[in-house]
Structure 1
Amino acid sequence: MDIQTIIPARRAAVAFVFVTVLIDILSFGIIIPVLPHLIERLGGGGIAKAALWVGLFGTLFATIQFICSPIQGALSDRFGRRLVILLSNLGIGIDFLFMALVNTVPLLLIGRFFSGAFAASFTTANAYIADITPPHKRAASYGLLGSAFGIGFIIGPALGGFLGHIDMRLPFFAAALLALANFCYGLFILPESLPVERRSKRFDWSHANPFGAVMLLRRYPSVFGLASVVFMSNLAHYVLQSVFVLYADYRYGWGAQKVGYTLALTGACNALVQAWLVRKLVPALGERRTVRLGLTFGALGFGLMAFAASWPVFLCAIPLLALWGLAGPSMQALITHRVDPHEQGRLQGAISSLSSLAGIFGPALFTQIFAAAIAGHAALHLPGAPFLLASLLLGLGAWIAWRVTRKLPLHVRHEHDGAAVVEPG
């Protein structure tokens, strides 16, 4: 029986996918506070040498996700979502256990390699939501998944810091336990969302690589345009991961405690927007308008951060950045409306590859701009220059989103016969 005809089963499946994404984010958030210190302890040579290793770890992780995301997506199109999600959870759990036990930096790097390969489960989770959710409800469902990121980044680093204070290996064991527990839960609970008749007939390696996946996007002009906006949005987001701590210390003299409180506030605001506000605004405004509104708020938030002379003004930018969260779920919904059902996995793999590509270049781009902006010989002393670039990226993204969606309908709804019908916009 088709899963879409069973409302309770569909709700249970959405809940499981939400928990899967939340546990993925929790498991990675838990190790954030301790991974650099563990690298420093295992590698020796002090902070400077550890910093080089940490940079290598980050680049490797993003590169592997860039390669593996379309592979996971294509595998889920061919063999179903359930198998890929479960194997991803199992692989992550075993990998975290491996990293908890190794005693050299190269072995830890190997563990991080496999983390990047298995952690592409968000690709399949997005495809799963597209399978089981009517088009007019997808933005709200993607908003729910987005809120898992906010919740995960509130709880994960705090829990990891607490456990790491007891023992530096303990967060890795906790992450492994979470992932393996989720695998066991899903093994008995999670139904398949993609019927056999809707699956791809074969696994095609030409479609399961990042460049072949991009060619899929080229076949859908509006999707290709929105995918470029996804790339710019993800690139802009790396300014927070790359220079936020350095910027807050340089400009406002913040220590780790204030930074932690600020990140927790940011995560809480983001979770509220994606879990509640998306569900309220999208039906009223439509996905197309909501995308532009979210990107505009994000551009304003980063612009305010760039020129905030005092920390209270800087904090005022956080609600604006949280409203940026309106854009992501609405873009996902718009994109999934325009791609055939049997290609949803490949689509999400292509989108995830673009996000990973941003992770390869983003950290170096923003840290170099920050270093140049505060250098003594800089022509213009502007510590907020990285945030200004992020603001410009989102502003450009809002303009592209307007260009590629201006002829699209505002809403898509399902009639009783199951056919998708567009409303004039």
Structure 2
Amino acid sequence: MSSSSAGNSVNTRFVLITVFLDILGIGLIIPVLPRLVGMFAPQPDLQAYWYGAIVASYAVMQFFCAPLLGALSDRFGRRPVLLLCVLGLGLNFFLMTQATSLIWLLIIRAMGGMTAGNIAVANAYIADVSTPELRGKALGKIGAMFGLGFICGPMLGGLLGEQHYQYPFYLAAAVSLCNFSYGLFALPESLALENRRAFSFSRANPISNLRGLTHLNSVGALVWAMGFSLFAQFTMQTTWVLSTELRFGWTPLQNGISLFMVGICSVIMQGLLLGRVIRRLGEAQTAVIGLASSSFVLLMYGIVNQGWLMYVLIPCNILGYAATPAIQAIFSRAVDAKSQGAVMGSLSSLGSVMSVGATLIGTSLFAQVGHLPKGSLLLGAPFFLAALAQGLALLIAIKHFMNEKKAI
């Protein structure tokens, strides 16, 4: 192994640990955030609306700030921006425990969204230190760190949440601040001085950046596929705990176990199998098969009326965890080294837009059906919506790859 590749391996390891600790903190609060909202809004429909508004406020600020952070990382380097994001996340977790009303929860969570571009910067970091041929596999490692974070975070958060709903927030704050301390001393810079580019507010404009994604070489239509797929994922994520608590009477611990299983499947695919899958199938076919798998499983999530069946369905979607890193790799190959941060920030903004829409629509839809009896099929409406969005992503991706094949 050359010294350069060895150095890149070390750099990758540093940033992956940083991402893991970051996601661990986020995962800790997922099983208990609805209960924190419920302390101020005890009625199910009111809780769903406020929960949606609080999650959406985070995503709105992320939408506006992620491209800014990505552009700043292209100018000043990945390291300082990544550390700033991690510090902001830790402070936000702590402030959540000090909120005394729903309005304050909304404001504090919105402030957290301002520094929520860390994953986009981490993706750019990985792109900096990876060759184009191995970029899909390398970006899959970021997904694997997501999985590891969700293996440990929700399970631990569920256990702590059984004791007191604030305990996971305190631990998440401590983990993030320890992560900041670790990165301050151990995280090296990945972006060489010659690959940096001048900062401009036009490149940090989320609207123009999203428009610019559609003009990237041979990948424009995939923006729509990525958008619908992210909408599906966020619809599922933001209504999962609300849905399982109402439909099956699940506790924070049971939700923690389900998210633990999601993390296991993500790690197996993105951390162990993704490189081999992409080598065998190619990025395009991997994306199509993953989207098809997710569409089917999301539909089944809405249909089943027994909680244990949700546990059965989670591992059935293991191929679904390959779709996003495969599409990200296609986007990453379409730009040069100087624009990785901006592009990953734009993809993060796309995720934020979809998160806002999915959160507001999904939780509002759930609030409309939340009064129905437990056995009603309509209680699965948010999952049906997610399945429809994922199905649209699948059709767009198939059409895009077919057109691309004809053009060759």
Per the normalisation by structure 2, the TM-score is 0.87
Which residue number corresponds to residue 121 of structure 1?
Answer: 118
Which residue number corresponds to residue 349 of structure 1?
Answer: 345
CA contact (8 A) 1:222 1:405 kept: no
2:317 counterpart of 1:318: no
2:200 counterpart of 1:204: yes
Q: Measure the CA separation in 1 of the matches of 2:304 and 2:157.
A: 31
CA 1:52 to 1:240, structure 2 compared with 1: closer, same or farther past 3 Å? closer
Report matched runs for 1:259-408 at 5 Å. 259-308=255-304, 314-370=310-366, 382-406=378-402
Q: Measure the CA separation in 2 of the matches of 1:236 and 1:397.
A: 9
Deviations 1:365-408 (A, max 9, x none): 234445666887xxx96443433332232222122223323465
TM-fit CA distance, 1:298: 1.0
TM-fit CA distance, 1:72: 0.7
1:24 to 22, 25, 32: 22
1:54 to 45, 51, 54: 51
Report matched runs for 1:211-290 at 5 Å. 211-220=207-216, 222-248=218-244, 254=250, 257-290=253-286
Q: Considering only aligned residues, what root-mean-square deviation do their CA atoms show, in Å? A: 3.0
Report matched runs for 1:43-192 at 5 Å. 43=40, 46-47=42-43, 51-101=48-98, 103=100, 105-166=102-163, 168-192=165-189
Q: Measure the CA separation in 2 of the matches of 1:98 and 1:310.
A: 37
- Is the partner of 1:222 in helix, strand or coil? coil
CA contact (8 A) 1:374 1:381 kept: no
What amino acid does structure 2 have at the position aligned with 1:114? M
TM-fit CA distance, 1:282: 0.8
Q: How many residue pairs align between the two structures?
A: 403
What amino acid does structure 1 have at the position aligned with 2:361? L
Structure 2: stretches of 5+ with no match in the other structure? none
Deviations 1:265-321 (A, max 9, x none): 222222211111212211111111111111111112123334446556554432232
CA contact (8 A) 1:123 1:348 kept: yes
The 10-residue stretch of structure 1 (120-129 or 243-252) with the greater mean CA deviation from structure 2: 243-252
TM-fit CA distance, 1:338: 0.5
Which is greater in Rg? 1
Per the normalisation by structure 1, the TM-score is 0.84
Q: Measure the CA separation in 2 of the matches of 1:371 and 1:167.
A: 26
Q: Measure the CA separation in 2 of the matches of 1:104 and 1:119.
A: 23
CA contact (8 A) 2:261 2:315 kept: no
TM-fit CA distance, 1:21: 1.7
CA contact (8 A) 1:59 1:359 kept: yes
Structure 1: stretches of 5+ with no match in the other structure? 410-423
Higher RCO structure (Cα 8 Å, ≥6 apart) = 2
The 10-residue stretch of structure 1 (348-357 or 383-392) with the greater mean CA deviation from structure 2: 383-392
Identity of aligned residues (%): 37
